[in-house]
Amino acid sequence: MEARIYSVGDDDADVDDAYYDDTLEGAQRPAHQKHQKRRLPQCLIIGVRKGGTRALLEFLNLHPNIAAEKKEMHFFDDEVNYNRGLEFYRKRMPYSYEDQVTLEKTPAYFVEEVVPGRVSAMNSSIKLILILRDPVERAISDYMQIYTTRHERGKTHETFENLAFDAMTGDVNKSYKAIRRSIYHRHMERWLEHFPLHQFHFVSAENLVQNPVEELRKVEDFLQIDHRLTQDHFYFNQTRGFYCMHLQHRQKCLAPSKGRAHIPIDQDVIYKLREFFRPHNQEMYELVGMNFGWP
């Protein structure tokens, strides 16, 4: 039997709309109004890649008290960008009012070793959001992003099975990036060397897909902003198979590449990966005090 895994998207390019303000107020604010200025972020969405960070950012950007930068900044994980300094970073943040939380998301932050220390050096009190997804599904989605890109360019690519398992031993290939990124506790341990647990908020990718308002309410509480995001602002798109957004004068979905079906993966492969990740998942649950209920 084969299992079919579905994608939860992250890519910057996969956004249907141009950059403008999509708050619940419905007005498209000018790029810069009186009393607005660019501020360093007070919150970062640090990951995970292929976990739904794009959906989370777009949903949060509906909130009038959030000013979200839609592009992935790659400031803390890119040497060239980081060496340009914090003023370079600040100038790339959106204009915001004093009562707004400035936020950016770069999923690579979670897994890059240098990032936690660099973020702490900027602001040791910053709030950090981490959306986590079933590590097996995340790894396959990670593979699919690269596979699809290469396929569209007429290039060949190794099968997921060949990359995910050692050809000699048949063991899971822990050096394969898609696998390594899904061993969450190893990355989280590094972050906890620099930040206390209470500065993190963990979002269930699965529940964000099924019940976005419930997850967003928790984020509002974490950011200490009013509850403004309600069921009225979302609708389930039967064609896409996930929730889209109701704005004042229009509807908005993520790009068509979000939620697309993957190539079938043999059930034996899924089973072996689940067995491999199970103890790693348990370590993550114990580390953060939250059970995500992955198979």
Residues at the binding site for 3'-phosphoadenylyl sulfate are 50-54, 133, 141, 243, 258-262
37 annotated active-site: no
CA atoms of 97 and 57, how far apart (whole Å): 18
Angle between helices 184-192 and 267-288 (to 10 degrees): 20
Give the torsion sign (CA, 49, 50, 51, 55). Answer: positive
**Tokens of residue 188, six digits:** 């989280």
Q: Which of 34, 37, 50, 127 is catalytic?
A: 50
Q: Can you name the residues that pair with 202 across neighbouring β-strands?
A: 130
Contact 118, 84 (CB under 8 A): no
CA atoms of 254 and 16, how far apart (whole Å): 6
Q: Strand, coil or helix: what is 141?
A: helix
Q: Which residues sit in the known binding site?
A: 50-54, 133, 141, 243, 258-262
Contact 140, 262 (CB under 8 A): yes
Which residues are annotated as catalytic? Answer: 50
